[in-house]
Amino acid sequence: MIGIRQLKGVLFRFSALIMVLLLFLTVEFVLRFLDVPKQGKLFHDLGEKVQFSRGAAIRYFSAGAEYIPEAYPETFDHPKKEGIIRIFCLGGSTMAGYPYSYNGALPSLIRDALIQRNESRRVEVINCAMPAVGSYTVRDLCRHILRYEPDVIVVYTGHNEFYGALGGASTQKLFDKRFIQHHLKLQDLHFYRLLWKGIGFIKGSGTQSSRGPTLMARMVDRSIIREEDMLYEHTLDQFSRNIEALYDLCSGRAELIICEVVSNLRDQQPFEPYDVSFSHIRHYTGDEAASSDSTVSALDIYTEARRAEENGDFGKARLLYTLSRDLDGLRFRASSALNDTLRAISRRRSGYLVRLESVFDSRSIFVSPGYDLFIDHLHPNHHGYLTMAEEISATIADVFVESEILPDFPRGTYIRHECEEISLVTPLDQAIAVDKVYRLMDHWPFPPDHPRPVFSFEDSITILARMYHDRQIAWSDIHLKASSYHMRHGRYASARREAEAILKQAVGFWPAWVKVGDSFLGEGDFDIAVSSYQNAILWAEQTDAPTGHIRAKYASALLAGGQPEKALREFDHILNNNDDLSGIDRVRALYMQGITYIELGNIDAARKTVKKLRLAENGDELANRLETKL
C-alpha cells in the first residue's frame, strides 16, 4: 500500500511537470506567433529579405537600462542569391564607424575598397556592429549570423571588454558572470525576453552611471582597474575564451578575420593614471640606475614619452606612450595584452589576423599614432578608417584567393584617392563627425583642458553640422541643404557630391536625383541633366510624390539641350495635367513654355503666353521679361 502511494506521488509530480512544460511551450508558441516581444530580436524576417534589428543591442544590456545604442538596420537577401559573396562585420563602435555614419562607416569603406580592387559587385558587406559592446556580443551575434550563409566574418573587438555591455566593470553587467552565456542563449526564447523586459519594468532605469550624459560615461561602474586586479585578469581570460569560441563557431562554416585593435597613443593622456613601481617599467626606460622601490605614474610616463619625442627618439617615445596607455586605470583603450592575446590565438589557430598596430605606426607622422589618424581617444578619423579599410580589404582578398571563395579575385594595388572618391564622404560628413566628438569631449572623462583635434570647415558647413545634431534633422535632409548651399555659390561638383552621397545609401530618394540634375544643368551638361530628372520622376512616381516641379526642370533641360519640340510637349503636359504645381511654379512653367515657343518661331503662341502670365498672380514680372524677347 505504501508503494502505491509513493508511485502516485511520483506520477503526480511527473504530471505536474508535464503540465508546466506544456504550459511553457504553449506560451512560447503564442509569443512566437504574435512576435512578442520584438525587443531583443537580432533579425527581422521581411519575406525574401532579412533586416538586422535597429534595437538589437537591447539583448545585451541590463533590464531597465536607461539608454541603449542603436544599430544600423542593414537589409540583405535570405536565402542568399546565387553568386553573391557575403561578408559580415562585427564589433563595437569602431567597426560601426563612429563618429561617422552611412558612407563613412568602416563596413561601407571596406565595400568601397573591395570594389576599387575589383569592379565586380558580387561582394556584399553587411554591418552588424553596434556601439558599447564587446566580445560577449560578438560571440553571440556570430552564433546567429552563421544561419545567413556568411562567406567571411570580420571582427574588430577589444576596447569594450571592461565597460561594454556585459563587461565586468560596466553598469551593464549581469549579477553573475558565470551566467552570461546561459543568459544569451535563453534570449532566443520569447518567454525569457518577455520576462527580462518585465524585470526591467519593475527595476526601472537606475542601472546606469550618473557620471555624465554620454553613453561613454553611463557605461562606467568602476573607474580604476589595475593590471594586478582579479577583474583585469578575469576579463583578459574571458576575452581569450570568446575569441577561441569564434574560431570554433566559424570552423568549416565561414572564414574568420580578426583585427588587432588600435588607439590614440600620442594625443591622449591617461584618463585615470595610477602609480606603479619603477622596476615594473625599467625595461621600457632603460634606466638601470633607478631605485626599484621608487614609483612612477602613467602620467609621468606619458610626459617622458613627450620628452623622448622632442629629442627625436621616436622608438622610445612609442614604447612609453604604449605603457602609459596600458597603465591607464580607466580602461576605455585596450591594453597591449589584448592584442597579444589575439596574436597568440591567431598563431595557434593559423587564422587570419589584420595587423593594424604596425600599419598605424608606419602611417603616423611621429610613429606613435595621434590626431593624425584618430579623432578621439580610440576612434580613427576618416584617414584612419581608410587605412583600416585598405588593410582589411587586402586580407579579405587573400582569403578569397586562398580559400577559393573567389580564386580569381585580384590582390592588386589599393589606390587611396580612388577609394576616397567612391566613398562619397563629404565635408559635411566630416564636420558632423567632428561636432559629435567635440560634444563628447565636453563631458567626463575628458578634462576641460583636453586638446582636441583641429579641423577647418566653411562656416556654413559647420552650422549645418550643428543643426544636424541640435534640430535632429535627417541625414538625407541635411545633405540636401548642403547641396543647395553649394548650388547657390556655383559649386556644382560639390553640390552633386552631397546629393550622390544620399543616393549611395538610398538610390530611390528622388529629391537627390533632382539635385544631381540641377548640378549638371548648371554645368551645361544637358543630356545627363535630362537623364537625372527622368530618374527623379521615375522614383517620385513610385512613391506617389508630386512630379510637376520635376517635370518642369526636365522640360527646361530638354530646351537647354536643343530639344524644343520635346520640351514643348512636356510643358503642355505639365500645365494641362499637373494640379500639384504651386502658383509660382506654374508661372515659371508658363514663362518657359513661352521661351520654347520663341525657340520654335511660334511668336503668336508666345504672345498668348504673355497674356496668360499677366492674368496669373505674380506673373507680371515674367510677362514683361518674356515680352522683351519677342
Mean pLDDT for the stretch of residues 448-473: 93
Mean pLDDT for the stretch of residues 347-372: 97
The H helix count followed by the E strand count for the chain is 26, 10
Within a domain: 146 = yes
Within a domain: 28 = no
Backbone angles phi, psi at 222, to 5 degrees: -120, 125
Scored b (16 or more CB within 10 A) or e, 511-530 reads bbbbbbbbbbbbeebbebbb
Q: What is the pLDDT of residues 110-159, one digit of tens each?
A: 999 998 887 666 899 999 999 999 999 999 999 999 999 999 999 999 99
Judged on CB neighbours under 10 Å (0-12, 13-18, 19+), 95 is buried
Closest listed residue to residue 286, CA positions, set 314, 316, 324, 253: 316
Residues 321, 335: contact at Cβ < 8 Å? no
Within a domain: 32 = no
CA dihedral defined by 380, 381, 383, 386, rounded to 10 degrees? Answer: 50
Which of 326, 348, 363 corresponds to the end of one domain? 326
Do 138 and 48 lie in one domain? The reply is: yes
CB half-sphere exposure, 189, CA atoms < 13 A: 13
Mean pLDDT for the stretch of residues 619-628: 86
Mean pLDDT for the stretch of residues 26-55: 80
pLDDT at 353: 98
Give residue 442's domain range. Answer: 430-628
Going across the sheet that includes 352-354, the strands are 123-127, 85-91, 152-156, 255-259, 352-354
Do 173 and 249 lie in one domain? The reply is: yes
pLDDT band at 361 (very low <50, low <70, confident <90, very high): very high
Is the full-model pTM beyond 0.85?
yes
Do 392 and 524 lie in one domain? The reply is: no
Q: What single DSSP character describes residue 374?
A: B
Do 354 and 232 lie in one domain? The reply is: yes
Closest listed residue to residue 220, CA positions, set 312, 329, 136: 329
CATH code at position 78? 3.40.50.1110
Do 464 and 354 lie in one domain? The reply is: no
pLDDT band at 5 (very low <50, low <70, confident <90, very high): low
Within a domain: 19 = no
Total domain count for the chain? 3
| DSSP string for residues in 127-155 | E---TTB-HHHHHHHHHHHGGG--SEEEE
pLDDT band at 408 (very low <50, low <70, confident <90, very high): confident
Do 579 and 502 lie in one domain? The reply is: yes
96-110, 116-130, 375-389, 511-525: range with lowest mean pLDDT: 116-130
Do 370 and 459 lie in one domain? The reply is: no
Within a domain: 11 = no
For the chain, how far is it from start to end, CA to CA, in angstroms?
A: 119
3-state secondary structure 188-240: CCHHHHHHHHHHHHHHCCCCCCCCCCCHHHHCECCCCCCCCCHHHHHHHHHHH
Within a domain: 27 = no
Query: 170 by DSSP, 3-state: which?
Result: strand
CB half-sphere exposure, 583, CA atoms < 13 A: 5
Do 91 and 189 lie in one domain? The reply is: yes
Q: With a cut of 70, say whether residue 96 has pLDDT above it.
A: yes
pLDDT at 62: 75
Mean pLDDT for the stretch of residues 182-194: 73
Q: Is the peptide bond before 69 cis (omega within 30 degrees of 0)?
A: no
Do 279 and 313 lie in one domain? The reply is: yes
pLDDT at 626: 86
CA dihedral defined by 480, 483, 484, 488, rounded to 10 degrees? Answer: 180
pLDDT at 206: 47
Do 212 and 343 lie in one domain? The reply is: yes
- CA pair distance 378, 332, nearest whole angstrom: 8
Tell me how far the alpha carbon of residue 41 is from its chain's centroid: 20
pLDDT at 199: 66
Which of 425, 458, 480 corresponds to the end of one domain? 425
Instruction: Provide the mean pLDDT of the chain.
Output: 89
- CA pair distance 335, 515, nearest whole angstrom: 47
Closest listed residue to residue 208, CA positions, set 58, 64, 332: 64
Sign of CA dihedral 376, 377, 383, 388: negative
Do 447 and 385 lie in one domain? The reply is: no
Q: Is the peptide bond before 564 cis (omega within 30 degrees of 0)?
A: no
CATH code at position 540? 1.25.40.10
Better pLDDT: 97 or 187: 97
Beta bridge partners of residue 155, listed in sequence order: 90, 258
Q: What is the pLDDT of residues 203-256, one digit of tens each?
A: 555 445 566 789 899 999 988 999 999 999 999 999 999 999 999 999 999 999
Beta bridge partners of residue 352, listed in sequence order: 257
3-state secondary structure 423-478: HCCCHHHHHHHHHHHHHHHCCCCCCCCCCCCCCCCCHHHHHHHHHHHHCCCCHHHH
- 68 to 40, 107, 162, 467: CA distances (angstroms): 11, 22, 17, 23
- CA pair distance 628, 630, nearest whole angstrom: 6
Q: With a cut of 90, say whether residue 178 has pLDDT above it.
A: no
Count of positions (residues) in the chain: 630
Mean pLDDT for the stretch of residues 45-54: 93
Closest listed residue to residue 63, CA positions, set 207, 213, 175, 210: 207
Q: What single DSSP character describes residue 497?
A: H
Which of 373, 401, 425 corresponds to the end of one domain? 425
Do β-strands 43-45 and 49-52 pair in parallel, antiparallel, or remain unpaired?
Answer: antiparallel
CB 31: neighbour CB atoms within 10 A?
Answer: 17
Judged on CB neighbours under 10 Å (0-12, 13-18, 19+), 612 is middle
Q: With a cut of 80, say whether residue 381 has pLDDT above it.
A: yes
Backbone angles phi, psi at 127, to 5 degrees: -90, 105
Scored b (16 or more CB within 10 A) or e, 107-139 reads bbbbbbbbbbbbeeeebbbbbbbbbbbbbbbbb
- 607 to 9, 162, 283, 573: CA distances (angstroms): 104, 78, 92, 20
Within a domain: 2 = no
Do 102 and 202 lie in one domain? The reply is: yes
Q: With a cut of 80, say whether residue 522 has pLDDT above it.
A: yes
Within a domain: 154 = yes
